[in-house]
Every structure is written in structure tokens, then in C-alpha cells.
Structure 1
Amino acid sequence: MDLTLAAKLFAALFAIMSPLSIVPIFLALTADLDAAGRRSTLIAMVGTVTIGALVCAFAGHALLGLFGIDVAHFRLAGGLIVLMIALSMLSGDDHSSHQGTPEEKAQYKSTSNPGVYPLGLPIALGPGTMATIIVYAQQSGTEPAIAGFYAGLVGYLVFFAAAMALAPWLGSRLSPTALSISKRLMGIILAAIAMEMVGGALGAMFPGWLK
């Protein structure tokens, strides 16, 4: 098993999905619900994220082929999306591709089950997350790499579900300062991962650069 790939995927998903940032949003959107309603929202969110992540992992290459998109070009586009999200995190902002535009945020409280939208899509599983999963899936060409990829993906999904289940406990202990510091630290990690994706894509597109 490629433990390095598993660790890098786990770190990338942790940084881009940022459970610590999702917890306050989850608590805000479920503030008017009872325990059963909050549990239903949690299950819907975790189910949406899990199904979406597995679809990206299993069918990502087929979807790219359907639209005639080269993996290297998609990796470059995905790296740029992840980089924009990372730069937003470093400045302390939330990128609209995951957190939604102001107009979309105004509609959040009117949704019947916020676990699917907006918590599942696009806050947790947004374009950056999808691109990251697809890119890492395409990098897994050997059996050890494939095992490492799914170990990292499944491990993170389990961790994410556990973190969101502990949302009330975490929410009572996370200060705005801690959230701000963690966002910027995750932004640095995510920026490095994004540049690796961009560099790998450019190396595949222009192999002469590597000589």
C-alpha cells in the first residue's frame, strides 16, 4: 500500500473540506431542529458526501472521457481551482465555489433538508473536492497506489462522519481565533498540494520541461 499517497489524499481532503469550518455552518442551519431532525440532516450530509466522493473515484475517468477531456488538462484545471480556494483560506475568506454566493446563502434556510444542499453539496463536496478526488484517482496506476488511494479516501470519509457527529461538542469548544488560525494553516497545506497538481499537469503536458 502506498501510504504516502494515502496521507497526501487525506491531508488534501482535510484541508479543502475543512470540517472545523463546516461545524459552525452545520450548527447554524440546524439550530431550529430537534435532535431527530439534526440527526437526519447529519445522515443526509454524510450520505451525500460519501456517494459523491465514490462516484468521483469510480466514474471520474469515464466522465472525463465522455467529454473528451484529457487527464492532464483536468489536473491543471483542478489544481488551479484548489489554488484559488487555498488563497481564499489564506486571506481568511470562504471561496464561493464551496460556501456559495450571497444569493445562494440567502436560500439555504428555505431548503427542506440542508444535509443534501447546501451542507453536502457544495459546502463539503464542492468543485475543489471533486477535482482533487478525480486527480488522485487518476494518479493511482499500480495496485499499491490504488490501495493507498482508497485507504486515504475511506479513512477520511470515516473521519469526516465522526467529526460531524461531534459537531455540537466541537462547536462549544472552537473559538473564532482557533477557526481563523486553522483556516490559514489548512490554506498553506492546500496551496502546496495545488501547486503539486499544477506542476504534475504541466510536466505531463510539456515533458520537455522536465529535462
Structure 2
Amino acid sequence: MDVTLTAKLFAALFAIMNPLSTIPVFLALTADLTPAQRRSALIAMIVTVTAGALVCALAGQAVLSMFGIDVPHFRLAGGLIVLMIALSMLSGDDHSSHQGTEAEQQHFETVANVGVYPLGLPIALGPGTMATLIVFAQEANGAAGVAGYYAGLIGYLVFFAAAMALAPVIGGKLSPTALSISKRLMGIILAAIAMEMITGALGGVFPGWRG
């Protein structure tokens, strides 16, 4: 098993999905719900994230092929998306691709199940997360690479579900300072991952650069 790929994918998902930032949003959007409704929202969120992540992992390459998009160009686009999200995190802001625009946020509390939208999509599983999953899936070569990829993906999904299930406990211990620090640390990690995606893509688009 490719342990390096496992660790890189887990770190990338942790940085871009950042449960420490998602937990306060989950608690805010479910504050007026009954315990049963909050559990329903939690389950819907976890199911949405899991299903969406598996679709990206299993069918991402097929979707690219259907639209005639080659791997290097998609990797470059994905890297730029991830880099924009990372730069927003470094400045302490929430990128609209994951948090929604102001107009979209006004409708968050009126949807039937906040676990599906906006918590599942796009807050937890946004364009940056989808691009990351597809790009890393393309890097999983051979049995060892595939095993490492799915070990990282499944491991993170289990971790994410556990963190969200403990949201009331964790949320009570998170201070604004801790959230701010964690967001910037995740932004640095995500920026490094984005640059690796971009430079790898440029090497594929311009093979002459590799000498």
C-alpha cells in the first residue's frame, strides 16, 4: 500500500474540509432543531459527503473523459481552485465556493434538510474537495496506489463522521482564536498541496520543462 499517498490525501482532505471550521456552522444551522432533527441532519450530511466523495473517486475519470478533458489540464484547474481556497483561508476568510455567496446564505435556513444543503454540499464537499479527490485518484497507480488512495479516503470519511458526531462537545471547546489559528495553518498546508498539483500539471502540459 502506498502509505505516502494515504497520508497526502488525508492531509489534503483535512485541510480543505477542516472539521474545526465546519462544526461551528453545523451547530449554528441546527441550533433551533430538536435532538432528533439534529441527528437527522447529521446523518444526511455524512451520507451526502460519503456518497459524493465516492462518486468523485470512482467516476471522476469517466466524467473527464466524457467531456474530453485530459488529466494535466484538469489537475491545473483543480490546483488553481484549491490555491484560491487556501489563500482565502490564510487571510481568515471563507471562500464562497464552499461557504456560498451572501445570496445563497440567506436561503440556508429555509431548506428542507440542512444536512444535504448547505452542510453536505457545498460546505463540506465543495468544488475544491471534489477536484482534490479526482486529482489524487488519477495519481493512484497500481494496486498499491489504489489501496493507499482508498485507505486515505475511507480513513478520512470515518474521522470526519466521528468529528461531526462529537460536534457539541468539540464546539464547546473551540475559541475564536483556536479557529483562526487552525484556519491559517490549514491554509498553509492547502497552499503547498495546491502548488504541488499546479507544478505537476504544468509538467504534463509542457513536458519540455522537465528537461
The normalised TM-score by structure 2 is 0.99
Matched, 1:165 2:165: yes
Instruction: Report the Cα distance in structure 2 between the residues aligned to 1:63 and 1:141, rounded to whole angstroms.
Output: 19
User: 5 Å matches for 1:1-211?
Assistant: 1-211=1-211
Could you list the per-position Cα deviations for residues 170-196 of structure 1 after superposition, in whole angstroms to 9, with x for gaps in the alignment? 110000000000000000000000000
Instruction: Report the Cα distance in structure 2 between the residues aligned to 1:38 and 1:95, rounded to whole angstroms.
Output: 25
Instruction: Report the Cα distance in structure 2 between the residues aligned to 1:133 and 1:38, rounded to whole angstroms.
Output: 28
Identity of aligned residues (%): 75
Structure 2: which amino acid aligns with 1:2? D
The count of corresponding residues between Structure 1 and Structure 2 is 211
Instruction: Report the Cα distance in structure 2 between the residues aligned to 1:137 and 1:62, rounded to whole angstroms.
Output: 12
Instruction: Report the Cα distance in structure 1 between the residues aligned to 2:171 and 2:58, rounded to whole angstroms.
Output: 34
Measured after TM superposition, the shift of residue 56 of structure 1 is 0.2
Measured after TM superposition, the shift of residue 167 of structure 1 is 0.3
Structure 2: which amino acid aligns with 1:68? G
Measured after TM superposition, the shift of residue 109 of structure 1 is 0.3
Structure 1: which amino acid aligns with 2:103? E
Could you list the per-position Cα deviations for residues 89-118 of structure 1 after superposition, in whole angstroms to 9, with x for gaps in the alignment? 000000000000000000000011000000
Instruction: Report the Cα distance in structure 1 between the residues aligned to 2:109 and 2:171, rounded to whole angstroms.
Output: 19
Q: Secondary structure at the match of 2:106?
A: helix
Q: Secondary structure at the match of 1:112?
A: coil
Structure 2: which amino acid aligns with 1:202? L
Measured after TM superposition, the shift of residue 207 of structure 1 is 1.2
Instruction: Report the Cα distance in structure 1 between the residues aligned to 2:179 and 2:4, rounded to whole angstroms.
Output: 27
Instruction: Report the Cα distance in structure 2 between the residues aligned to 1:114 and 1:28, rounded to whole angstroms.
Output: 11
Q: Runs ≥4 in structure 1, deviation > 3 angstroms? A: none
Single out whichever of 79-88 and 28-37 deviates more from structure 2.
Answer: 28-37
Instruction: Report the Cα distance in structure 2 between the residues aligned to 1:170 and 1:42, rounded to whole angstroms.
Output: 15
Q: Superposition RMSD on alpha carbons, in Å?
A: 0.4
Gaps of 5+ in 1: none
Instruction: Report the Cα distance in structure 2 between the residues aligned to 1:71 and 1:40, rounded to whole angstroms.
Output: 38
